[in-house]
C-alpha cells in the first residue's frame, strides 16, 4: 500500500465515523504562536482544544506536515525525519479516548491489514497529579494487545505550559523474528500512532487545571506506517524516497547513513522554501540555512566539487507535489545554489581569518565574539574549522572543500 492509498484509507475511515476533513496548514504557525514551525497536527487546532467551537464541528481529520528541529540529531536512524506528515484525528469534547483507540485498532488491523500480533501499546501509569489511565488500559486488554505502563513517555505536552494530557502510543514490530520484549525494552518496536487524552492545561506554576472540554488528539506518522506496511524497516525505504534512491546514488556515491541525511535535509529544505521561507541568520530562515549547510558538509566529505546545482529538478517537483505545494522547482534549486555559494565563501573567509597569528592559540570568549561580530563567523563554524567537528553538523571530522 503506497502513501497515497494510506492517506485515502485513513481519511475515508474517519469520514465514515463522522469526521470532517480539514485542510492541513503550512509549516508556519499563526502569528503569536511561540514555536517556529508546526511540529504536530494539534498545533493549528490549539484554540479549539481550549474550547472555541470549530466551524466544522467536533470530529475532525487531516494530514498535517510537521517540522521538528528537536529531531535533527536523530535523522539517519530508522524512524526520524525532519519534515514528515502526520495524519491526525480530533474529538473536540466529543467521544472519549477508549473509542479513539478502538477505532485505531480496527483501522490498523482491518483497514490497513496489520497483523494484530505485531502490535504493542503503552499507557500512562499515573503521576503526582493525574492517576493511571485505566480506561485505555482496559481497552487494550479487551483487544488482546500487550500493554506497557510508563510515566514520562506517556504524558504529552507541547511545551512547559498549555494543553497536555496522558497518552497511549501504538507500536508496530519491525523485526524479522517474532515480537519480543516491550517498546521501552526493544527498539524494534516502532511508535506509529499517539493518542493524547488532551484534558489538562499546565499553568506557569506547574499546576494542572482541567480544560473546558475533554478532547482526544491523535497523530499517526505517515512515513513510519508506510515503511512498515511496505515491509521495510526504515522510513528512508518507503515509496516516498523511491525517486531519491533511484536518482541520487549515480550522481553522488555516498554510504547509506550519509544519504539519509542528504535526502532528509534536501527534502526538508525544499518544503520549507515551498512554504515561503528564505535563508537568513535568524529564526526560520536560520533553520533552513542550517539544513543546507549540514547536507553540504556531508556531501563534501569526500568530494568538495559536488553541489546542489546537480540536484535533478524532478526530485524537487516530486517533493512539492507530495506536499501539495505550488512552487517553481528552478527557483528552489537556484535558491539552494545561492546558499551553497555563500557557504563556500564563508568557509573561505573563515579559513583566512583563522590563519592569522592572533588566532593560532586557543580561542577565548573575546576572540569568538570578535570573529562573530566582525567577520560573521558563527561559533560552531569556527570550532569546526579548527578541526573540532563539521560545520553545520555539530560533530564528525573537519570539512575539506
Ligand atoms: P518518537 O518517540 O519516536 O520520537 P514522538 O513520541 O516524539 O515519537 P509524537 O509527538 O507522539 O512522536 O508524534 C506522533 C507521531 O508522529 C509519532 O507516533 C510518529 O509516528 C510520528 N513522528 C514523530 N516524530 C517523527 C519524526 N521525526 N519523523 C517521522 N515521524 C515522526
Ligand atoms: Mg520524538
Ligand atoms: Mg514517543
Ligand atoms: Mg509519541
* Structure ipTM: 0.99
Q: Mutate which of 72, 77, 84, 236 to test ligand 1's pocket (most atoms within 8 Å of Cβ)?
A: 84
Q: For 36-52, how does the pLDDT look when each residue is reduced to its tens digit (9 = 90+)?
A: 999 999 988 999 999 99
Burial of 163 (0-12, 13-18, 19+ CB in 10 A): buried
84 CB near ligand 1 (under 6 Å): yes
CA-nearest residue, atom 3 of ligand 1? 191
Helices (H) and strands (E) in the chain, counts: 12, 9
Average pLDDT, the chain: 93
Domain layout of the chain by residue ranges: 3-237, 239-388
Residue 257: helix, strand or coil by DSSP? helix
Model confidence pLDDT, tens digit, residues 331-350: 999 999 999 999 999 999 99
Q: Which atom of ligand 1 is nearest to the CA of 81?
A: 28
* Cβ of 167 below 6 Å from ligand 1: no
Digit-coded pLDDT (tens) for 204-253: 999 999 999 999 999 999 999 999 999 998 999 999 999 999 999 999 99
Regarding the beta carbon of 58 and ligand 1, being less than 6 Å apart is answered no
Can you tell me the distance from the alpha carbon of 351 to that of 386, in angstroms, rounded to the nearest whole number?
9
Query: What residue owns the CA closest to ligand 1's atom 4?
Result: 80
Q: Decide if pLDDT at 323 tops 80.
A: yes
Band of the pLDDT at 389, cuts 50, 70, 90? low
| pLDDT at residue 30, as a whole number | 82
Task: Tell me the pLDDT band of 167, cut-offs 50, 70 and 90.
Answer: very high
Full-model pTM: 0.93
Q: Give CA separation, 121 vs 133, 193, 265, in Å.
A: 13, 10, 31
Residue 392 pLDDT > 60, yes or no? no
Q: How remote is the CA of residue 14 from the centroid of ligand 1, in Å?
A: 21
Closest by CA position to 283, among listed 24, 46, 33 = 33
Task: Answer yes or no: is pLDDT of 399 > 50.
Answer: no
Q: In whole angstroms, what is the distance from residue 37 CA to residue 22 CA?
A: 19
Q: Evaluate if residue 321 carries a pLDDT over 50.
A: yes
Of 6, 50, 340, 346, nearest to 217 (Cα)? 50
Q: Which CATH code is given to the segment(s) 3-237? A: 3.30.930.10
What is the band of 306 on the pLDDT scale with cuts at 50, 70, 90? very high
- Cα(196) to ligand 4 centroid in Å equals 9
Query: How many CB atoms lie under 10 A from the CB of residue 65?
Result: 23
Listed in sequence order, the DSSP H helices in 50-203 are: 97-106, 134-143
**Ligand 1 pocket residue status of 223, Cβ below 6 Å:** yes
312-326: average pLDDT: 95
Report pLDDT for 158.
82
pLDDT digits (tens, 9 = 90+) for 101-134: 999 999 999 999 999 999 999 999 999 899 999 9
Substitution candidate for ligand 1 out of 174, 191, 223 with most atoms within 8 A of CB: 191
The response to whether residue 104 sits with its C-beta less than 6 Å from ligand 1 reads no
Nearest CA, atom 2, ligand 1 = 191
Is any atom of ligand 1 closer than 6 Å to the C-beta of 264?
A: no
**In the chain, % of residues over pLDDT 70:** 97
Residues 145-154 pLDDT 10s: 999 999 989 9
Amino acid at each position: 500500500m503506497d502513501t497515497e492509498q494510506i492517506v485515502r484509507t485513513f481519511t475515508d475511515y474517519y469520514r465514515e465515523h463522522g469526521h470532517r476533513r480539514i485542510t492541513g496548514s503550512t509549516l508556519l504557525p499563526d502569528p503569536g504562536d511561540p514555536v517556529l514551525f508546526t511540529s504536530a497536527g494539534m498545533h493549528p487546532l490549539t484554540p479549539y482544544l481550549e474550547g472555541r467551537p470549530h466551524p466544522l464541528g467536533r470530529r475532525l481529520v487531516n494530514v498535517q506536515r510537521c517540522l521538528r528541529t528537536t529531531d535533527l540529531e536523530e535523522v539517519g536512524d530508522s524512524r526520524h525525519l525532519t519534515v514528515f506528515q502526520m495524519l491526525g484525528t480530533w474529538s473536540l469534547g466529543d467521544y472519549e479516548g477508549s473509542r479513539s483507540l478502538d477505532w485505531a485498532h480496527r483501522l490498523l488491523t482491518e483497514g490497513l491489514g496489520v497483523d494484530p500480533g505485531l502490535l504493542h501499546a503503552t499507557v500512562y501509569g499515573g503521576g503526582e497529579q493525574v492517576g493511571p489511565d485505566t480506561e485505555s488500559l482496559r481497552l487494550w486488554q479487551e483487544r488482546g494487545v500487550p500493554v506497557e505502563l510508563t510515566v514520562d513517555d506517556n504524558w504529552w505536552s507541547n511545551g512547559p505550559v498549555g494543553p497536555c494530557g496522558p497518552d497511549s502510543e501504538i507500536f508496530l514490530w519491525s523485526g524479522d523474528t517474532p515480537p519480543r520484549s516491550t517498546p521501552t525494552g526493544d527498539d524494534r518496536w516502532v511508535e506509529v500512532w499517539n493518542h493524547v487524552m488532551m484534558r489538562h492545561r499546565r499553568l506557569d506554576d506547574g499546576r494542572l487545571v482541567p480544560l473546558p472540554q475533554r478532547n482526544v488528539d491523535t497523530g499517526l506518522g505517515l512515513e513510519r506506517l508506510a515503511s512498515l506496511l511496505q515491509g521495510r524497516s526504515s522510513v528512508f525505504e518507503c515509496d516516498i524516497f523511491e525517486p531519491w534512491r533511484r536518482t541520487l546514488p549515480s550522481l553522488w556515491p555516498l554510504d547509506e547513513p550519509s544519504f539519509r541525511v542528504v535526502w532528509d535535509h534536501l527534502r526538508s529544505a525544499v518544503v520549507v522554501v515551498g512554504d515561503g521561507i528564505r535563508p537568513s541568520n535568524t529564526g526560520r530562515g536560520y533553520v533552513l540555512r542550517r539544513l543546507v549547510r549540514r547536507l553540504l558538509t556531508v556531501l563534501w566529505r569526500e568530494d568538495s566539487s559536488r553541489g546542489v546545482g546537480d540536484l535533478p529538478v524532478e526530485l524537487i517537483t516530486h517533493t512539492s507535489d507530495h506536499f501539495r505545494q505550488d512552487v517553481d522547482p528552478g527557483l528552489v534549486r537556484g535558491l539552494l545554489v545561492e546558499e551553497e555559494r555563500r557557504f563556500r565563501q564563508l568557509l573561505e573567509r573563515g579559513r583566512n581569518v583563522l590563519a592569522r597569528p592572533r588566532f593560532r592559540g586557543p580561542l577565548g570568549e573575546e576572540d569568538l565574539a570578535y570573529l562573530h561580530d566582525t567577520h560573521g563567523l558563527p561559533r560552531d563554524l569556527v570550532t569546526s574549522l579548527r578541526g573540532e567537528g563539521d560545520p553545520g553538523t555539530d560533530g564528525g571530522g573537519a570539512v575539506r572543500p
